[in-house]
Chain A
């Protein structure tokens, strides 16, 4: 039974999934790292602008989210608990896109999405476009976890 379109060679397919892991994992690592290395209050302020989380939870969220992003990125990049980490990234992008959509609907003006802490600054429309692309890659990794050059494969072969 074929698992992929017939015009795509299996080895190319493996590399395509690896590239998807590199992109999604790399983005999560960059986002998580840039927020985790900066004062928590900066990211807390960025979250608070969206007015989604109650104010009393904002600092807790700002403390925890960067680490979840960082470790999700590491797991995706290195292919460790591939399906689980892809599920987490899919969930994250679903939440991000929902939050951005609500912000657009309510006309909340944001100079920056706050996605990357003090790093790359994206406007809301840019963030929506970028995250939509990453959401698609995450869903794909969830449906077809990549075992090519992965820690999961190394562990399994032990």
Chain B
């Protein structure tokens, strides 16, 4: 009788102590909202591609800079099979020039020069990341890439340039993005270096089907 009582108490304890935490975790998990479309100027590749990669990135993030050539190589290798979309996600608390870099990229985008400017920002990251005011450097890059300088400067000063960046940041927060680079490969999330291993493996497997 006593043994049965003990067993019953053990079972009750086990059910409650396993079930309640599980239920609480499931209740606390937030449903992620679908991502909005990225403006065409920040997309490249075949619009009907089997694989869609969306990257939330910070131009001042060293990991983002180091993974940029990997992405480029991946897209070139699977020409026509991958569509790539870029979203701004400057981590302003730790990277003081990241938002300004995003604004500069957005201004380049207005003149159809987003991708070359995107590459330029990453490749010269060490030149501008610690500068007090990188605006003149960013204007210099625009000039180097043969973008119109005066409209670029005016664009940098306009407050409306911030809107697409802030929209991406808000969306990233709703997606619970905490670090950059964060990738979504056909809606499956990979963060940082894990994209280079598991993310690329998933893409290769998907494309080989």
Contact = CB atoms under 8 A, between A and B. Distances in A.
A80 B13 contact: yes
Contact of B176 (A42, A44, A45): A42
Nearest to B192: A45
Scoring A33, A41, A78, A80 by chain B CB atoms within 10 A of each residue's CB, the highest score goes to A41
Contacts of A148: none
A24 B193 CA distance: 32
Interface stretch (B16-24, B82-90, B161-169): B16-24
B6 A41 contact: no
B198 A45 contact: no
Main secondary structure of the interface of B (DSSP, over half): helix
B178 A118 contact: yes
A58 B199 CA distance: 12
A80 B17 contact: yes
Query: Majority SS of interface residues in chain A?
Result: helix
B194 A70 contact: no
Interface residues of A, number: 30
21 contacts: A33-B24, A37-B28, A37-B29, A40-B189, A41-B182, A45-B179, A45-B191, A48-B192, A48-B194, A49-B193, A55-B193, A55-B198, A74-B17, A80-B13, A80-B17, A111-B94, A118-B178, A155-B9, A155-B10, A158-B2, A158-B6
Interface of B: 2, 5-6, 8-10, 13-14, 17-18, 21, 24-25, 28-30, 32, 94, 176, 178-179, 182, 189-194, 196-198
Top 3 nearest A-B pairs by Cβ distance? A45-B191, A55-B197, A41-B189
